[in-house]
């Protein structure tokens, strides 16, 4: 049984969606970030940077933090969404999510959504970076069904919950035809709908 240390954020949802996709039994342990649960000493033994998501695989006695590492672990354990003959491409797009797409959209959330008016420089910088990411992803998805080629993979699972914050981004997802096609298709997957609302608060995937 996998225990998922979770909050309703894009990084948390990557793992709840993956667990639903691979149909593993899991227990959700919610970490209330607003109350500072992430700094509890027991949690920090598993996640030394005090961040969700993290997992404990109680059967195999393995604990992991960092969503990319967790996705690779679950993909290898289940044999799903991480084809051996396509790992260079999947790793590349997974790292693009971990190193660029997530952190940059995360900064855009901070300046544009949570703290507008506090820093003109920060707002402009991350708005522009977010727009460029939408454009680049859209161009890529014109040539590719999914991020890493013809098949849905952990790279898509990692990226989807970030694009699901498109209302916060104010960039107009509908104007990006290929990114919208990718988003709508993934939005319809039963496991994605379930994993998006892992904490069962009735949260729906935002429509375009
Ligand atoms: N690179 C990390 C990022 C994780 C992350 O930033 N988690 C945030 C929530 S989305 C968090 O736990 N923040 C709490 C804090 O920093 O105090 C991953 O992909 O797992």
DSSP calls for 160-204: HHHHTTHHHHTS-GGG-HHHHHHHHHHHT-HHHHHHHTTT-S-PP
What value does the CA radius of gyration of the chain take, rounded to a whole number of Å?
17
Specify the pLDDT at position 166.
98
Beta carbons of 83 and 72 less than 8 angstroms apart: no
Q: Distances in Å between the alpha carbon of 143 and those of 66, 131, 146, 179?
A: 30, 19, 9, 11
The β-bridge partners of 3 are 27, 56
pLDDT by residue for the chain (208 residues), tens only, comes to: 999 999 999 999 999 999 999 999 999 999 999 999 999 999 999 999 999 999 999 999 999 999 999 999 999 999 999 999 999 999 999 999 999 999 999 999 999 999 999 999 999 999 999 999 999 999 999 999 999 999 999 999 999 999 999 999 999 999 999 999 999 999 999 999 999 999 999 999 999 9
Q: Which ligand 1 atom is at minimum distance from the Cα of 67?
A: 20
CA 11 to ligand 1 center in whole angstroms: 7
Does residue 52 line the site of ligand 1, with CB under 6 A? yes
Specify the pLDDT at position 15.
98
CA 34 to ligand 1 center in whole angstroms: 13
- How do beta strands 54-57 and 62-65 pair? antiparallel
Distance CA 118, CA 98 (A): 26
Specify the pLDDT at position 12.
98
Distance CA 48, CA 117 (A): 33
Specify the pLDDT at position 97.
98
Specify the pLDDT at position 114.
97
Specify the pLDDT at position 150.
98
Does residue 180 line the site of ligand 1, with CB under 6 A? no
Distance CA 13, CA 101 (A): 15
Does residue 33 line the site of ligand 1, with CB under 6 A? yes
Q: Which ligand 1 atom is at minimum distance from the Cα of 31?
A: 12
CA 45 to ligand 1 center in whole angstroms: 15
Please give the structure tokens belonging to residue 144. 């590719």
Please give the structure tokens belonging to residue 19. 């667990």
Ligand 1 pocket test, pick from 9, 11, 47, 49 with the greatest ligand atom count within 8 Å of Cβ, gives: 11
CA 190 to ligand 1 center in whole angstroms: 26
Beta carbons of 180 and 174 less than 8 angstroms apart: yes
Q: Is 142 helix (H, G, I), strand (E, B) or coil?
A: helix
Beta carbons of 25 and 75 less than 8 angstroms apart: no
Q: Is 41 helix (H, G, I), strand (E, B) or coil?
A: helix
Distance CA 60, CA 194 (A): 25
Distance CA 117, CA 121 (A): 10
Ligand 1 pocket test, pick from 51, 55, 100 with the greatest ligand atom count within 8 Å of Cβ, gives: 51
Give nearest CA residue, ligand 1 atom 6: 51
């Amino acid at each position: 049984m996998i225990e998922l240390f979770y909050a309703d954020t894009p990084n948390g949802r990557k793992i709840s969606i993956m667990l639903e996709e691979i149909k593993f039994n899991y227990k959700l342990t919610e970490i209330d970030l607003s109350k500072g649960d992430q700094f509890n000493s027991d949690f920090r033994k598993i996640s030394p940077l005090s961040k969700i998501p993290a997992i404990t695989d109680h059967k195999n006695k393995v604990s992991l933090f960092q969503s990319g590492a967790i996705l690779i672990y679950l993909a290898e354990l289940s044999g799903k969404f991480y084809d051996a003959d396509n790992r260079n491409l999947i790793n590349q797009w997974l790292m693009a999510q971990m190193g660029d797409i997530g952190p940059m959209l995360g900064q855009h959330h901070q300046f544009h959504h949570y703290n507008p008016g506090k820093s003109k420089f920060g707002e402009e910088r991350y708005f522009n970076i977010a727009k460029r990411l939408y454009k680049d992803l859209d161009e890529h998805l014109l040539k590719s069904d999914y991020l890493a080629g013809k098949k849905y993979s952990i790279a898509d699972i990692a990226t989807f919950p970030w694009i699901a914050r498109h209302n916060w981004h104010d960039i107009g997802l509908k104007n990006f035809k290929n990114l919208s096609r990718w988003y709508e298709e993934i939005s319809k997957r039963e496991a994605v709908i379930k994993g998006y609302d892992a904490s069962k608060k009735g949260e729906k995937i935002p429509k375009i």
